[in-house]
Structure 1
Amino acid sequence: MHQGLYLGTPDWDDTDRLVETTRTALHAGAAMLQYRHKGASAQLRREQAAALLALCRRFNRPLIINDHVELCLTLDADGVHLGGTDASVAQARGVLGAGKIVGASCYGELALARAAQRDGASYVAFGGFYPSRVKQYSFRTEASIVTQAKTEIALPVVVIGGMTPENAAPLVGRGADMVAAISSVYTAAVPGAVVHAFDGLFAERAKSCVNHGATV
Protein backbone atom coordinates (compact mmCIF):
# COMPACT_ATOMS: atom_id res chain seq x y z
CA MET A 1 0.00 0.00 0.00
CA HIS A 2 1.36 3.38 -0.97
CA GLN A 3 1.58 6.57 1.07
CA GLY A 4 0.62 10.02 -0.19
CA LEU A 5 -2.14 11.33 -2.43
CA TYR A 6 -4.92 8.91 -3.35
CA LEU A 7 -6.47 10.62 -6.36
CA GLY A 8 -10.13 10.08 -7.22
CA THR A 9 -11.60 10.98 -10.59
CA PRO A 10 -14.44 13.48 -11.12
CA ASP A 11 -17.64 12.74 -13.05
CA TRP A 12 -16.25 13.92 -16.38
CA ASP A 13 -17.65 12.40 -19.56
CA ASP A 14 -14.79 13.90 -21.61
CA THR A 15 -12.33 11.00 -21.55
CA ASP A 16 -9.50 12.93 -23.23
CA ARG A 17 -9.71 15.70 -20.65
CA LEU A 18 -9.92 13.15 -17.83
CA VAL A 19 -6.87 11.23 -19.02
CA GLU A 20 -4.80 14.35 -19.67
CA THR A 21 -5.44 15.88 -16.24
CA THR A 22 -4.85 12.52 -14.58
CA ARG A 23 -1.57 12.15 -16.48
CA THR A 24 -0.46 15.51 -15.09
CA ALA A 25 -1.34 14.45 -11.53
CA LEU A 26 0.39 11.07 -11.80
CA HIS A 27 3.47 12.71 -13.27
CA ALA A 28 3.48 15.11 -10.32
CA GLY A 29 3.48 12.23 -7.87
CA ALA A 30 -0.06 11.04 -7.08
CA ALA A 31 0.46 7.64 -5.48
CA MET A 32 -2.75 5.83 -6.36
CA LEU A 33 -5.81 6.43 -8.55
CA GLN A 34 -9.45 5.54 -8.04
CA TYR A 35 -11.77 5.59 -11.02
CA ARG A 36 -15.11 6.93 -9.83
CA HIS A 37 -17.88 8.16 -12.13
CA LYS A 38 -21.31 7.71 -10.61
CA GLY A 39 -23.23 8.83 -13.69
CA ALA A 40 -21.36 6.98 -16.43
CA SER A 41 -23.00 4.44 -18.69
CA ALA A 42 -21.55 0.93 -18.62
CA GLN A 43 -19.82 1.56 -21.95
CA LEU A 44 -18.30 4.89 -20.92
CA ARG A 45 -17.25 3.45 -17.57
CA ARG A 46 -15.40 0.62 -19.27
CA GLU A 47 -13.76 2.92 -21.85
CA GLN A 48 -12.58 5.39 -19.24
CA ALA A 49 -11.40 2.73 -16.81
CA ALA A 50 -9.43 1.00 -19.57
CA ALA A 51 -7.79 4.27 -20.62
CA LEU A 52 -6.88 5.11 -17.03
CA LEU A 53 -5.56 1.61 -16.41
CA ALA A 54 -3.21 1.95 -19.38
CA LEU A 55 -2.06 5.30 -17.98
CA CYS A 56 -1.50 3.87 -14.51
CA ARG A 57 0.53 1.01 -15.96
CA ARG A 58 2.83 3.57 -17.62
CA PHE A 59 3.38 5.31 -14.30
CA ASN A 60 3.47 2.10 -12.27
CA ARG A 61 0.61 3.24 -10.03
CA PRO A 62 -2.37 1.16 -8.86
CA LEU A 63 -5.81 1.74 -10.37
CA ILE A 64 -8.73 1.11 -8.04
CA ILE A 65 -12.28 0.82 -9.40
CA ASN A 66 -15.01 2.35 -7.27
CA ASP A 67 -17.91 -0.05 -6.61
CA HIS A 68 -17.69 -2.23 -9.72
CA VAL A 69 -16.08 -5.54 -8.78
CA GLU A 70 -16.84 -7.19 -12.13
CA LEU A 71 -15.25 -4.32 -14.06
CA CYS A 72 -12.13 -4.66 -11.94
CA LEU A 73 -12.07 -8.37 -12.74
CA THR A 74 -12.69 -7.85 -16.46
CA LEU A 75 -9.95 -5.25 -16.89
CA ASP A 76 -7.58 -6.83 -14.36
CA ALA A 77 -7.33 -3.55 -12.49
CA ASP A 78 -5.50 -3.46 -9.18
CA GLY A 79 -8.50 -3.47 -6.89
CA VAL A 80 -11.83 -2.02 -5.80
CA HIS A 81 -13.14 0.48 -3.31
CA LEU A 82 -16.44 -0.34 -1.63
CA GLY A 83 -18.98 1.88 0.07
CA GLY A 84 -21.70 0.98 2.50
CA THR A 85 -24.22 0.02 -0.20
CA ASP A 86 -21.81 -1.90 -2.44
CA ALA A 87 -20.70 -5.53 -2.34
CA SER A 88 -19.21 -6.55 0.99
CA VAL A 89 -15.48 -6.74 1.56
CA ALA A 90 -15.74 -10.49 2.02
CA GLN A 91 -17.66 -10.89 -1.25
CA ALA A 92 -15.17 -8.77 -3.19
CA ARG A 93 -12.22 -10.60 -1.68
CA GLY A 94 -13.81 -13.90 -2.62
CA VAL A 95 -14.28 -12.81 -6.24
CA LEU A 96 -10.97 -11.00 -6.72
CA GLY A 97 -8.68 -13.25 -4.71
CA ALA A 98 -5.85 -12.43 -2.36
CA GLY A 99 -3.75 -10.42 -4.81
CA LYS A 100 -6.06 -7.46 -5.33
CA ILE A 101 -6.56 -4.32 -3.23
CA VAL A 102 -9.93 -4.07 -1.50
CA GLY A 103 -10.67 -0.77 0.19
CA ALA A 104 -13.60 -0.06 2.46
CA SER A 105 -15.43 3.16 3.34
CA CYS A 106 -15.88 3.24 7.10
CA TYR A 107 -17.28 6.79 7.37
CA GLY A 108 -16.88 7.72 11.03
CA GLU A 109 -17.22 4.28 12.58
CA LEU A 110 -14.37 2.23 14.01
CA ALA A 111 -16.70 -0.77 14.17
CA LEU A 112 -16.91 -0.76 10.36
CA ALA A 113 -13.12 -0.61 10.17
CA ARG A 114 -12.76 -3.55 12.52
CA ALA A 115 -15.23 -5.55 10.42
CA ALA A 116 -13.47 -4.59 7.20
CA GLN A 117 -10.14 -5.71 8.62
CA ARG A 118 -11.67 -9.01 9.73
CA ASP A 119 -13.17 -9.59 6.27
CA GLY A 120 -9.94 -9.03 4.38
CA ALA A 121 -9.78 -5.32 3.50
CA SER A 122 -6.48 -3.86 2.31
CA TYR A 123 -7.16 -0.40 3.72
CA VAL A 124 -9.88 1.53 5.52
CA ALA A 125 -11.15 5.00 4.56
CA PHE A 126 -12.71 7.48 6.98
CA GLY A 127 -14.70 10.61 6.13
CA GLY A 128 -16.01 13.02 5.31
CA PHE A 129 -14.01 15.27 7.49
CA TYR A 130 -14.87 18.50 5.64
CA PRO A 131 -17.66 19.65 3.30
CA SER A 132 -17.17 18.11 -0.14
CA ARG A 133 -18.08 19.36 -3.60
CA VAL A 134 -18.40 15.76 -4.79
CA LYS A 135 -20.31 13.93 -2.08
CA GLN A 136 -22.80 15.24 0.47
CA TYR A 137 -22.25 13.76 3.91
CA SER A 138 -25.02 13.75 6.49
CA PHE A 139 -22.42 13.64 9.28
CA ARG A 140 -18.94 14.91 10.03
CA THR A 141 -16.11 12.62 10.98
CA GLU A 142 -13.90 13.81 13.82
CA ALA A 143 -10.12 13.93 13.40
CA SER A 144 -9.64 11.83 16.55
CA ILE A 145 -10.80 8.73 14.67
CA VAL A 146 -7.50 8.71 12.77
CA THR A 147 -5.56 8.49 16.02
CA GLN A 148 -7.85 5.75 17.31
CA ALA A 149 -7.66 3.78 14.09
CA LYS A 150 -3.87 3.90 14.03
CA THR A 151 -3.81 2.27 17.46
CA GLU A 152 -6.53 -0.33 16.81
CA ILE A 153 -6.51 -1.17 13.10
CA ALA A 154 -3.52 -2.85 11.48
CA LEU A 155 -4.34 -1.45 8.03
CA PRO A 156 -3.45 1.74 6.17
CA VAL A 157 -5.83 4.62 6.93
CA VAL A 158 -7.19 6.86 4.16
CA VAL A 159 -8.94 10.17 4.89
CA ILE A 160 -11.50 11.69 2.56
CA GLY A 161 -14.01 14.53 2.26
CA GLY A 162 -13.23 18.05 1.07
CA MET A 163 -9.49 17.54 1.28
CA THR A 164 -7.05 20.32 0.51
CA PRO A 165 -3.35 20.38 1.39
CA GLU A 166 -4.16 22.84 4.17
CA ASN A 167 -6.98 21.01 5.91
CA ALA A 168 -5.43 17.57 5.38
CA ALA A 169 -2.32 18.56 7.33
CA PRO A 170 -3.66 17.78 10.84
CA LEU A 171 -4.96 14.41 9.67
CA VAL A 172 -1.59 13.48 8.18
CA GLY A 173 -0.09 14.66 11.45
CA ARG A 174 -2.29 12.16 13.27
CA GLY A 175 -0.97 9.34 11.09
CA ALA A 176 -3.20 9.12 8.00
CA ASP A 177 -1.40 7.03 5.39
CA MET A 178 -3.15 8.51 2.37
CA VAL A 179 -5.27 11.57 1.61
CA ALA A 180 -8.02 11.04 -0.96
CA ALA A 181 -8.89 14.08 -3.09
CA ILE A 182 -10.83 14.84 -6.25
CA SER A 183 -11.93 18.45 -6.71
CA SER A 184 -8.91 20.14 -5.16
CA VAL A 185 -6.74 18.55 -7.86
CA TYR A 186 -9.00 18.31 -10.92
CA THR A 187 -10.41 21.83 -10.65
CA ALA A 188 -7.06 23.46 -9.85
CA ALA A 189 -5.45 25.88 -12.28
CA VAL A 190 -2.21 23.91 -11.83
CA PRO A 191 -3.10 20.36 -10.73
CA GLY A 192 0.52 19.30 -10.41
CA ALA A 193 1.21 22.01 -7.86
CA VAL A 194 -1.62 20.74 -5.67
CA VAL A 195 -0.27 17.20 -5.90
CA HIS A 196 3.15 18.47 -4.82
CA ALA A 197 1.54 20.26 -1.88
CA PHE A 198 -0.19 17.06 -0.72
CA ASP A 199 3.05 15.12 -1.07
CA GLY A 200 4.80 17.79 0.95
CA LEU A 201 2.63 16.92 3.96
CA PHE A 202 4.09 13.42 4.05
CA ALA A 203 7.61 14.66 3.44
CA GLU A 204 7.25 17.05 6.38
CA ARG A 205 5.96 14.27 8.62
CA ALA A 206 8.84 12.01 7.66
CA LYS A 207 11.30 14.81 8.34
CA SER A 208 9.67 15.52 11.69
CA CYS A 209 9.86 11.85 12.67
CA VAL A 210 13.55 11.71 11.78
CA ASN A 211 14.30 14.87 13.74
CA HIS A 212 12.27 13.67 16.70
CA GLY A 213 14.07 10.34 16.66
CA ALA A 214 17.41 12.10 16.67
CA THR A 215 16.58 14.11 19.79
CA VAL A 216 15.15 11.43 22.05
Structure 2
Amino acid sequence: MDELAPDFAEQFERDPRRPPCQLYLISPLEVAGNFPDALRAALDAGPVAAFQFRVKGVDQHEAARLAAPLREICAAREVAFIVNDDMGLAKRLGADGVHLGQGDGDPEVARRLLGPNAQIGVTCHDSRHLAMEAGEAGADYVAFGAFFPTLTKETHHRPDPSILSWWTTLFEIPCVAIGGITPDNGRMLVDAGADFLAVCGAIWSHAEGPAAAVRAFQDVLKP
Protein backbone atom coordinates (compact mmCIF):
# COMPACT_ATOMS: atom_id res chain seq x y z
CA MET A 1 0.00 0.00 0.00
CA ASP A 2 1.22 3.48 -0.84
CA GLU A 3 3.04 4.94 2.18
CA LEU A 4 1.93 8.48 1.36
CA ALA A 5 -1.77 7.64 1.39
CA PRO A 6 -4.00 8.25 4.40
CA ASP A 7 -5.82 5.31 5.95
CA PHE A 8 -8.99 4.68 3.97
CA ALA A 9 -9.58 1.19 5.34
CA GLU A 10 -12.94 2.22 6.80
CA GLN A 11 -14.15 3.70 3.51
CA PHE A 12 -15.41 0.75 1.54
CA GLU A 13 -18.49 1.62 -0.46
CA ARG A 14 -19.54 2.43 -3.98
CA ASP A 15 -20.26 6.03 -4.93
CA PRO A 16 -23.88 5.86 -6.17
CA ARG A 17 -23.16 8.59 -8.71
CA ARG A 18 -20.90 6.26 -10.73
CA PRO A 19 -22.29 4.32 -13.70
CA PRO A 20 -22.80 0.57 -13.21
CA CYS A 21 -19.67 -1.59 -13.26
CA GLN A 22 -18.86 -3.24 -16.60
CA LEU A 23 -16.95 -6.30 -17.76
CA TYR A 24 -13.51 -5.94 -19.38
CA LEU A 25 -12.15 -9.16 -20.88
CA ILE A 26 -8.43 -9.91 -21.23
CA SER A 27 -7.27 -12.49 -23.74
CA PRO A 28 -5.35 -15.62 -22.84
CA LEU A 29 -1.80 -15.76 -24.20
CA GLU A 30 -2.89 -18.29 -26.83
CA VAL A 31 -5.37 -16.72 -29.26
CA ALA A 32 -4.87 -18.91 -32.33
CA GLY A 33 -6.95 -21.95 -33.30
CA ASN A 34 -10.54 -21.78 -32.09
CA PHE A 35 -10.12 -18.72 -29.90
CA PRO A 36 -12.05 -16.40 -32.27
CA ASP A 37 -15.08 -18.65 -31.75
CA ALA A 38 -14.61 -18.45 -27.99
CA LEU A 39 -14.45 -14.66 -28.20
CA ARG A 40 -17.64 -14.49 -30.26
CA ALA A 41 -19.40 -16.69 -27.72
CA ALA A 42 -18.23 -14.55 -24.82
CA LEU A 43 -19.22 -11.24 -26.39
CA ASP A 44 -22.61 -12.55 -27.47
CA ALA A 45 -23.43 -13.86 -24.00
CA GLY A 46 -23.84 -10.51 -22.26
CA PRO A 47 -22.67 -6.89 -22.13
CA VAL A 48 -18.89 -6.52 -22.41
CA ALA A 49 -17.29 -3.07 -22.53
CA ALA A 50 -13.79 -3.92 -23.72
CA PHE A 51 -11.45 -6.70 -24.81
CA GLN A 52 -7.70 -6.50 -24.26
CA PHE A 53 -5.41 -8.30 -26.71
CA ARG A 54 -2.50 -9.66 -24.67
CA VAL A 55 0.06 -11.99 -26.25
CA LYS A 56 3.72 -12.44 -25.40
CA GLY A 57 6.80 -13.74 -27.18
CA VAL A 58 5.76 -12.99 -30.78
CA ASP A 59 6.93 -10.24 -33.11
CA GLN A 60 4.65 -7.40 -34.11
CA HIS A 61 3.89 -8.90 -37.53
CA GLU A 62 2.63 -12.14 -35.99
CA ALA A 63 0.78 -10.27 -33.25
CA ALA A 64 -0.96 -8.17 -35.89
CA ARG A 65 -1.95 -11.31 -37.80
CA LEU A 66 -3.45 -12.85 -34.67
CA ALA A 67 -5.16 -9.65 -33.61
CA ALA A 68 -6.86 -8.71 -36.89
CA PRO A 69 -9.79 -11.16 -36.75
CA LEU A 70 -10.31 -10.49 -33.04
CA ARG A 71 -10.47 -6.77 -33.67
CA GLU A 72 -13.15 -7.36 -36.32
CA ILE A 73 -15.18 -9.47 -33.91
CA CYS A 74 -15.04 -6.69 -31.33
CA ALA A 75 -15.84 -3.95 -33.83
CA ALA A 76 -18.93 -5.80 -35.06
CA ARG A 77 -20.22 -5.84 -31.48
CA GLU A 78 -19.11 -2.32 -30.53
CA VAL A 79 -16.68 -3.66 -27.94
CA ALA A 80 -13.53 -1.57 -27.45
CA PHE A 81 -10.41 -3.37 -28.67
CA ILE A 82 -7.42 -2.54 -26.44
CA VAL A 83 -3.83 -3.64 -27.06
CA ASN A 84 -1.69 -4.60 -24.09
CA ASP A 85 1.71 -2.92 -23.66
CA ASP A 86 2.50 -2.08 -27.31
CA MET A 87 1.41 1.37 -28.50
CA GLY A 88 3.08 0.74 -31.87
CA LEU A 89 0.93 -2.36 -32.41
CA ALA A 90 -2.14 -0.42 -31.31
CA LYS A 91 -1.35 2.22 -33.95
CA ARG A 92 -0.75 -0.41 -36.63
CA LEU A 93 -4.07 -2.13 -35.90
CA GLY A 94 -6.11 1.02 -35.55
CA ALA A 95 -7.07 -0.26 -32.09
CA ASP A 96 -9.41 1.64 -29.82
CA GLY A 97 -6.66 2.03 -27.27
CA VAL A 98 -3.66 0.70 -25.40
CA HIS A 99 -3.05 -0.52 -21.87
CA LEU A 100 0.37 0.42 -20.49
CA GLY A 101 2.23 -1.25 -17.66
CA GLN A 102 4.62 0.83 -15.60
CA GLY A 103 7.50 -0.02 -17.96
CA ASP A 104 5.62 0.28 -21.25
CA GLY A 105 5.80 3.97 -21.98
CA ASP A 106 4.28 7.33 -21.14
CA PRO A 107 0.54 7.99 -21.58
CA GLU A 108 1.40 11.36 -23.09
CA VAL A 109 3.48 9.66 -25.79
CA ALA A 110 0.68 7.18 -26.43
CA ARG A 111 -1.77 10.06 -26.78
CA ARG A 112 0.38 11.80 -29.38
CA LEU A 113 0.76 8.56 -31.32
CA LEU A 114 -2.80 7.25 -31.09
CA GLY A 115 -4.77 10.48 -31.12
CA PRO A 116 -7.31 12.20 -28.90
CA ASN A 117 -9.96 9.50 -29.09
CA ALA A 118 -7.78 6.55 -28.03
CA GLN A 119 -8.51 4.88 -24.72
CA ILE A 120 -5.29 4.79 -22.68
CA GLY A 121 -5.12 2.74 -19.52
CA VAL A 122 -2.29 2.47 -17.02
CA THR A 123 -1.43 -0.24 -14.49
CA CYS A 124 -1.06 1.33 -11.05
CA HIS A 125 -0.78 -1.81 -8.86
CA ASP A 126 -1.64 -0.76 -5.29
CA SER A 127 -0.36 2.82 -5.54
CA ARG A 128 -2.48 5.93 -5.18
CA HIS A 129 0.55 7.96 -6.21
CA LEU A 130 0.98 6.11 -9.52
CA ALA A 131 -2.73 6.43 -10.21
CA MET A 132 -2.70 10.18 -9.68
CA GLU A 133 0.37 10.49 -11.90
CA ALA A 134 -1.39 8.49 -14.63
CA GLY A 135 -4.44 10.70 -14.41
CA GLU A 136 -2.32 13.83 -14.65
CA ALA A 137 -0.59 12.36 -17.72
CA GLY A 138 -3.91 11.94 -19.49
CA ALA A 139 -4.84 8.31 -18.85
CA ASP A 140 -8.47 7.43 -19.58
CA TYR A 141 -8.53 4.80 -16.85
CA VAL A 142 -6.30 3.42 -14.11
CA ALA A 143 -6.03 -0.25 -13.14
CA PHE A 144 -5.48 -1.53 -9.61
CA GLY A 145 -4.52 -5.10 -8.68
CA ALA A 146 -3.97 -7.94 -8.32
CA PHE A 147 -6.78 -8.15 -5.79
CA PHE A 148 -6.71 -11.95 -5.63
CA PRO A 149 -4.21 -14.70 -6.45
CA THR A 150 -3.94 -15.27 -10.20
CA LEU A 151 -2.18 -17.65 -12.57
CA THR A 152 -2.42 -15.23 -15.50
CA LYS A 153 0.78 -13.38 -14.60
CA GLU A 154 3.23 -13.02 -11.73
CA THR A 155 2.08 -10.36 -9.29
CA HIS A 156 3.75 -8.59 -6.39
CA HIS A 157 1.02 -6.19 -5.27
CA ARG A 158 -2.20 -6.89 -3.37
CA PRO A 159 -4.25 -3.73 -2.85
CA ASP A 160 -7.12 -3.44 -0.41
CA PRO A 161 -10.49 -2.93 -2.14
CA SER A 162 -10.83 0.38 -0.29
CA ILE A 163 -8.44 1.89 -2.86
CA LEU A 164 -11.34 1.70 -5.33
CA SER A 165 -13.62 3.61 -2.97
CA TRP A 166 -10.93 6.21 -2.42
CA TRP A 167 -10.31 6.68 -6.14
CA THR A 168 -13.92 6.88 -7.26
CA THR A 169 -14.87 9.29 -4.51
CA LEU A 170 -12.18 11.77 -5.54
CA PHE A 171 -11.68 11.29 -9.28
CA GLU A 172 -13.94 10.99 -12.34
CA ILE A 173 -11.47 8.87 -14.34
CA PRO A 174 -12.68 5.24 -14.31
CA CYS A 175 -10.82 2.56 -12.40
CA VAL A 176 -10.37 -1.08 -13.34
CA ALA A 177 -10.01 -3.89 -10.82
CA ILE A 178 -7.87 -6.79 -11.98
CA GLY A 179 -6.33 -10.01 -10.71
CA GLY A 180 -7.94 -13.36 -9.95
CA ILE A 181 -11.50 -12.01 -10.20
CA THR A 182 -14.32 -14.56 -10.40
CA PRO A 183 -18.11 -14.45 -10.07
CA ASP A 184 -17.61 -15.61 -6.48
CA ASN A 185 -15.28 -12.84 -5.34
CA GLY A 186 -16.01 -9.96 -7.73
CA ARG A 187 -18.98 -8.51 -5.88
CA MET A 188 -16.85 -6.93 -3.16
CA LEU A 189 -14.91 -5.02 -5.83
CA VAL A 190 -18.10 -3.79 -7.45
CA ASP A 191 -19.39 -2.69 -4.05
CA ALA A 192 -16.08 -0.96 -3.32
CA GLY A 193 -16.37 1.14 -6.47
CA ALA A 194 -14.76 -0.62 -9.45
CA ASP A 195 -15.93 0.83 -12.75
CA PHE A 196 -14.71 -2.25 -14.62
CA LEU A 197 -13.81 -5.81 -13.66
CA ALA A 198 -10.93 -7.06 -15.81
CA VAL A 199 -11.17 -10.83 -16.14
CA CYS A 200 -9.10 -13.45 -17.92
CA GLY A 201 -8.87 -16.94 -16.43
CA ALA A 202 -12.40 -16.98 -15.03
CA ILE A 203 -13.72 -16.50 -18.57
CA TRP A 204 -11.54 -18.65 -20.79
CA SER A 205 -11.04 -21.49 -18.29
CA HIS A 206 -14.65 -21.78 -17.20
CA ALA A 207 -15.81 -25.40 -17.12
CA GLU A 208 -18.93 -24.60 -19.14
CA GLY A 209 -17.24 -22.26 -21.59
CA PRO A 210 -16.78 -18.50 -21.93
CA ALA A 211 -20.44 -17.74 -22.64
CA ALA A 212 -21.48 -19.30 -19.34
CA ALA A 213 -18.75 -17.36 -17.57
CA VAL A 214 -19.91 -14.02 -18.96
CA ARG A 215 -23.48 -14.82 -17.96
CA ALA A 216 -22.30 -15.69 -14.46
CA PHE A 217 -20.77 -12.25 -14.10
CA GLN A 218 -23.98 -10.40 -14.97
CA ASP A 219 -25.49 -10.77 -11.48
CA VAL A 220 -22.18 -9.65 -9.98
CA LEU A 221 -22.23 -6.43 -11.99
CA LYS A 222 -25.76 -5.36 -11.04
CA PRO A 223 -25.91 -2.24 -8.85
> Matched residues in 1 for 2:67 and 2:20: separation?
20
The two structures have a TM-score, normalised by structure 2, of 0.87
2:150 matched to 1:164?
no
Report the Cα offset of residue 72 of structure 1. Answer: 1.1
SS in 1 for 2:142: strand
The two structures have a TM-score, normalised by structure 1, of 0.89
1:1-216 aligned within 5 A? 3-12=21-30, 15-29=32-46, 30-189=48-207, 190-203=209-222, 205=223
> Matched residues in 2 for 1:78 and 1:110: separation?
26
SS in 1 for 2:211: helix
Q: 1:188 to 1:105 in 2, by over 3 A?
A: same
SS in 2 for 1:139: coil
Cα deviation code 1:160-195 (max 9, x no counterpart):
001101111101011111100111100112211211
Cα deviation code 1:137-174 (max 9, x no counterpart):
12211111111111122211100001101111101011
Q: Is the 8 A contact 2:168 2:193 kept in 1?
A: yes
Report the Cα offset of residue 70 of structure 1. Answer: 1.2
> Matched residues in 2 for 1:118 and 1:139: separation?
22
For 2:13, the equivalent position in structure 1 comes to none
Q: Is the 8 A contact 1:2 1:31 kept in 2?
A: no
> Matched residues in 1 for 2:77 and 2:20: separation?
14
From the two aligned structures, give the one with the greater helix fraction.
1
Q: Is the 8 A contact 1:3 1:31 kept in 2?
A: no
Ranges in structure 2 where 5+ consecutive residues have no aligned partner: 1-18
Q: 1:2 to 1:70 in 2, by over 3 A?
A: farther
Q: Is the 8 A contact 1:7 1:34 kept in 2?
A: yes
Q: Greater RCO between the two (CA within 8 Å, min separation 6)?
A: 2
Report the Cα offset of residue 2 of structure 1. Answer: 8.8
- RMSD over equivalenced CA pairs, Å: 1.5
Aligned residues: 203
Report the Cα offset of residue 77 of structure 1. Answer: 0.9
Report the Cα offset of residue 3 of structure 1. Answer: 4.3
Identity %: 36
Q: Is the 8 A contact 1:28 1:192 kept in 2?
A: yes
Runs of 4+ in 1 over 6 A off after TM superposition: none
| Amino acid aligned to 1:81 | H
Ranges in structure 1 where 5+ consecutive residues have no aligned partner: 206-216
> Matched residues in 1 for 2:156 and 2:75: separation?
36
